[in-house]
Amino acid sequence: MLNRLEMLRIFCAAAESASFKAAATRLGTSPQTVTRAVKDLEEAVGEPLFHRNTRQIRITAAGERLAERARAALVDVDSLFAHPASRSDTELKGVVRITAPSTLGRQHLLVALREVALAHPGITLDIRLSDQVADVVDDEIDIGLRLGMFRDQRLVARMTTRVGFHIVGTPELVARVGKPVDLAQLAALPTTGLIDRSSGRAWPWYFAQGEQFNPRAPAFLTDDPETEMEAILSGLAYGQLPDYLAQPHLRSGRLVSVLDRFAPAPWGLYIYRSRRSPVPMRIRLVFDALVAYFGDKDAVPAR
């Protein structure tokens, strides 16, 4: 039978994994051992620690509370046996998993984290780029970047800047088809569409007062924001782009902005991580580096 310290270690690994099988792989043991340890711990504390189904596990509120206390206790126990000189080195080794919107991540993450990576070669940066919102539990993500509203109470989030959106086209497009003065005129002109990969439909365009616009017959469709931008730059159609894509071309004159009076309120750019504690030093280091970089008004072109 497992002792209580072993049960807590297994439970904490399960709390940070998408499944008991994933926890077992991480610990180098069997899924049956993880299942048994969690069951014994549930009997010991007298309440369920996970919701289970055939596809996934989700920690309960009671499990979250226990995991937070258990992690702190395990850190205290481990610190009793750790050589003082080795502690900081150990805490700055390991994988930090990061997710970000694809274009924003390609343009900025390596720049933001280059100094951290060079200073701490024991840290492995695992970067996953996707325009879908990642679940920190299911996808085992340590840190994420997200544009838009943020109300997930399971996460610690810092808004670093605000990102505006623009309807843009080339001067040649304006000369060829005209400049729209309202959304009705925009609907009659060639536009681009960005496909939401999860639904297969084009994302709506956003405007002031919460109004949305869906191009009826886009002249160009793609599921990649940078490809959409290239189509706009080619003069093919009008499109809606965020500041970090639009601003360099607006400044150079390659693009012009239209319908500015209909522009939506800028969206917040958030850096987030799990509320679980204690937070490993490597995750805190990367989190703080991202907050500092994206909070710098000169780093990301913004309104």
Average pLDDT, rounded, for the chain: 87
Give yes or no: residues 240 and 106 share one domain.
Answer: no
Q: Which two tokens stand for residue 167?
A: 């309807």
Helices (H), 120-170: none
Sign of CA dihedral 287, 289, 295, 299: negative
Does the predicted TM-score (pTM) go above 0.75?
no
pLDDT at 303: 44
Structure confidence by residue, pLDDT tens digits, 173-226:
999 999 999 999 999 999 999 998 888 899 999 999 989 999 888 999 999 999
Confidence of residue 52 (pLDDT cuts 50, 70, 90): confident
Give yes or no: residues 257 and 119 share one domain.
Answer: no
* Boundary residue ending a domain (81, 99, 131): 81
Give yes or no: residues 240 and 95 share one domain.
Answer: no
Structure confidence by residue, pLDDT tens digits, 75-105:
777 666 655 544 555 568 899 999 999 899 9
Let me know if residue 76 belongs to a domain. yes
Angle at 266 between CA 261 and CA 270, to 5 degrees: 175
Residue 156's beta-bridge partner residues?
273
Q: How many domains does the chain have?
A: 3
Expressed as residue numbers, the domain containing 219 is: 165-262
Give yes or no: residues 58 and 41 share one domain.
Answer: yes
Q: Please list, in sequence order, all residues whose beta carbon lies within 8 angstroms of the beta carbon of residue 150, skipping any fewer than 6 positions away.
A: 157, 159, 268, 270, 272
Give yes or no: residues 273 and 144 share one domain.
Answer: yes
